[in-house]
Amino acid sequence: MYNCIICRYHEIATKGNNRNMFERCLADNIRHLLSGVAPCRVLRVRGRIWIEHPEGRDYTDEEISGMIPALRRAFGVETFSPAVRIASDMDAIRNAALEIAPPVFEGRPDTVTFRVRARRSNKRFPMRSKEIEIDLVSAVAGLFDHRRFKLDLDHAELTLGCEVRDEFSLLYFDTYEGPGGLPVGSNPRVLTLLSGGIDSPVAAYLVMKRGSPTDYVSFHSYPYTPAETTDKVKTIAAHLNTFQATGKLHLVNLLELQKAVRDNCSERLRTVLYRRAMFRIAERIARETGCRALVTGEALGQVASQTLVNMDTINRSIDMLVLRPIVGEDKLDTIAVAEKIGTMKISEKQVPDSCTVFAPSSPSTSVPLVIAEKEELLIPDYAGILERAVASRETF
């Protein structure tokens, strides 16, 4: 019964001169997310994004149910509603309300509380919002036994929304929440250091939500870590890519570097030295592939490598912006996001992690930069090891 979906955005509307770019980006992303789900034409109409069937016909219930989960992944969308579009004419609006109301009320037991919320941006329309609401409430009420039908302006179970615009009017019952944020692609591409853990997938999600598409780099220590380690990361990356046009995954074997650190450096420094090498390799890949920043799932103080001093020592291995979207989050809050976006059930699976290969039982929580730099000088052909790691990466 619906012939369109109307998408509302919030933050984009506050953009000045760039607003056009953000809207175009959002419309492109919606086209991408809906391709293969339902035929659609995506249009921009004054402050809204508008989806309709290219042949101008109604959508089927199946098509609408397929489009809802896709639009929930469209960063930039605040809310959206499947709707009926009609002419801005009170008779047409009332008739449409009488058509769409019965199936929505059907099957609800006992008393149904109901209200109408009307908005009028077309100031030449002869009725005011309140008058439109009263007209529609009495029309819909006429369809039902008065004992079953109850008007409730504050806590209604069913709300009929009505927007009267210049070009046309809209009626809808259900409003769904989008993810908010900014359309992915409205900021430059970044490279996320993706482990199989809980935190880095959430970090990748959050930068996408702020507009940056992301590629991924993940380090493994094959054959010291099993194939399941990289399989898990591939599954996570594939899931994260449902929020954006495909990002690439680079898999880098860190084992040669880890052996060199084991054989030449002080045991308690291994974790920080691994991490500095990871950053350096990631920076090279980012520059080679046009990514403008690195992203990690680091959270201040969470483990030995994430104390303030160690984060600083790791950070100074490179000369590129590092985004840490969850640096101040509690683990429980990060887990809640991971549950919501669907990465938790993949991350939960226990598989060996590259960082644990030759890991010290008691890693230093405070490695000064000068010490890390001195230790790295003890590694023969350190530059060559990094170069080989970058060159031999596999990209998916």
Give dist(CA 68, CA 378) in Å, integer. Answer: 57
Q: How many CB atoms lie within 10 A of CB 40?
A: 20
197 near Mg ion, judged by CB under 5 A? yes
- Contact flag: residue 212 with ligand ATP (CB under 6 A): no
Q: Which two tokens stand for residue 225?
A: 């870590």
Residue showing the smallest CB distance to Mg ion in the complex: 197
Among 169, 186, 218, 253, binds ligand ATP (CB under 6 A): 218
Sole binder of ligand ATP in the list 297, 320, 372, 393 (CB under 6 A): 297
Look at residue 88 and give the partner it binds from Mg ion, ligand ATP, none, a contact being a CB closer than 5 to 8 Å depending on partner kind.
none
Instruction: Give the range of 1-9, 191-199, 233-241, 378-386 binding Mg ion by CB under 5 A.
Output: 191-199
Q: Cis peptide leading into 223, omega within 30 of 0?
A: yes
- Counted residue by residue, the chain has a size of 396
* Minimum CB distance to ligand ATP, residue 296 (Å): 3
d(CA 138, CA 250) in angstroms, rounded, equals 61
H/E segment holding residue 369: helix 369-377
Contact letters (x/-) for ligand ATP, 312-351, by CB under 6 A?
----------------------------------------
**Nearest Cα to 136, choosing from 187, 84, 178, 182?**
84
- In b/e form, how buried is each residue of 181-190, taking b as 16+ CB within 10 angstroms? bbbbbbbebb
Q: How many residues bind ligand ATP (CB under 6 A)?
A: 19
Q: What is the CA radius of gyration of the chain?
A: 27
Q: How many CB atoms lie within 10 A of CB 13?
A: 13
Q: How far is the CB of 197 from Mg ion (least distance, A)?
A: 3
Q: How far is the CB of 21 from Mg ion (least distance, A)?
A: 36
Using the rule CB under 5 A, give the single segment among 125-133, 172-180, 194-202, 223-231 that binds Mg ion. 194-202
Contacts to Mg ion by CB under 5 A: 195, 197
Contacts to ligand ATP by CB under 6 A: 193-195, 197-200, 218-219, 296-298, 302-303, 305-306, 353-355
